[in-house]
């Protein structure tokens, strides 16, 4: 009745932005991501007949706010097994600095895997990714390592992720922490606002489908420049769509733009470096892993060492 799992965060190269079904977290478009080695969450779940309420500890501190989401998520397992047993959940986010890159993706993927084992439900990875999805959309992809595609599907059973490439080649990321404070507006809220009010939203969905086809071809060819060009533009299209929402949603900060300019200059010097950004000001640079330290050196002229993290591609969720 007790198990511990480790899941890694992922960064989307083709973004998930907007839900077709809010309740089930079925997205409007399929997405594709890279699982990262450097960022992960470890979560232990212990079902116990001795307690009458769920308990949740995050980084060794009791967290009654997140507990509500955790409890609701555990209900997915309890309902399936027809049990009422409560659980003690202990979760630790591992990030290289005390920075805010802790993600709901690694959190819900680790929780799903630990609850799956501890409860004895024993879902396979595909079914597990549909469970993780209901915790947080991006968690669907963190069940797998390497390069992962979340196929949008059109029902609870058909919206899941699969690994499409182990990414065991020269590819990596440099993450630049621009600001580690709490996000101004959560991705859940921001994407809803975009779907409801941005005049560009339908084009975003349509373009993403094409981007996904193109990036998969580039991944087959291991063409880092093509992969980078498509993902950078996809991220910009997502941000352009949300900039046009009402009220507008803007995650860029001055230092985000600075990183973007550094990336553009690196490219002028012939280095294959491409940026992407999510629902926050931090910038992630896609590159050849063999170029990552050169890119870091350049960033060190403007950023602190502790705010630049080089990472290779991470593995799938594991029971530890």
Residues that bind ligand DP6 (CB under 6 A): 12, 15-17, 25, 31, 104, 136-138, 187-188, 278-279
C-beta closer to ligand DP6: residue 17 or 303: 17
Cis peptide before 247 (omega within 30 of 0): yes
Distances in whole angstroms, Cα of residue 4 to Cα of each of 135, 165, 203, 292, 300: 18, 26, 42, 32, 37
Q: If 0-12 CB within 10 Å is exposed, 13-18 middle and 19+ buried, where does residue 228 land?
A: buried
Taking CA 31 as the corner, what is the angle to CA 139 and CA 315, rounded to the nearest 5 degrees? Answer: 50
DSSP H/E element including 172: strand 172-176
C-beta closer to ligand DP6: residue 44 or 278: 278
CB of 319 to ligand DP6, least distance (A): 23
C-beta closer to ligand DP6: residue 17 or 144: 17
- Using an 8 Å Cβ cutoff, are 132 and 139 in contact? yes
Residue number of the CB closest to ligand DP6 reads 137
Distance CA 228, CA 219 (A): 10
C-beta closer to ligand DP6: residue 119 or 194: 194
C-beta closer to ligand DP6: residue 137 or 172: 137
* C-alpha closest to that of 15 among 303, 251, 295: 251
C-beta closer to ligand DP6: residue 8 or 15: 15
């Amino acid at each position: 009745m007790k198990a511990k799992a480790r899941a890694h965060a992922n960064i989307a190269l083709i973004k998930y932005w907007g839900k077709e079904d809010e309740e089930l977290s079925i997205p409007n478009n399929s997405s594709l991501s890279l699982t990262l080695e450097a960022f992960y969450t470890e979560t232990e779940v212990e079902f116990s007949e001795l307690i009458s309420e769920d308990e949740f500890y995050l980084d060794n501190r009791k967290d009654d706010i997140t507990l509500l989401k955790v409890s609701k998520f555990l209900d997915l397992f309890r309902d399936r097994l027809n049990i009422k047993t409560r659980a003690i959940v202990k979760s630790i986010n591992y990030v290289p600095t005390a920075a805010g890159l802790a993600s709901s993706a690694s959190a819900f993927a680790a929780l799903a895997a630990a609850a799956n084992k501890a409860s004895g439900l024993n879902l396979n990875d595909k079914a597990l990714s549909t469970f993780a999805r209901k915790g947080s959309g991006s968690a669907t992809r963190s069940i797998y390592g390497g390069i992962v595609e979340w196929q949008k599907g059109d029902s609870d059973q058909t919206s899941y992720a699969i690994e499409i490439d182990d990414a065991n080649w020269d590819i990596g990321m440099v993450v630049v922490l621009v600001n580690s404070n709490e996000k101004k507006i959560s991705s859940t809220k921001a994407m809803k606002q975009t779907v409801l009010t941005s005049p560009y939203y339908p084009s975003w969905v349509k373009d993403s489908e094409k981007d996904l086809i193109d990036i998969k071809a580039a991944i087959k060819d291991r063409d880092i420049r093509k992969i980078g060009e498509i993902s950078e533009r996809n991220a910009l299209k997502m941000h352009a769509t949300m900039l046009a929402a009402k009220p507008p949603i803007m995650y860029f900060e001055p230092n985000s733009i600075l990183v973007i300019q550094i990336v553009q200059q690196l490219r002028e010097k012939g280095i294959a470096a491409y940026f992407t950004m999510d629902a926050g000001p931090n910038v992630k640079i896609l590159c050849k892993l063999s170029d990552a330290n050169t890119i870091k050196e350049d960033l060190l002229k403007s950023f602190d060492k502790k705010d630049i993290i080089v990472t290779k591609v991470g593995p799938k969720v594991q029971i530890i």
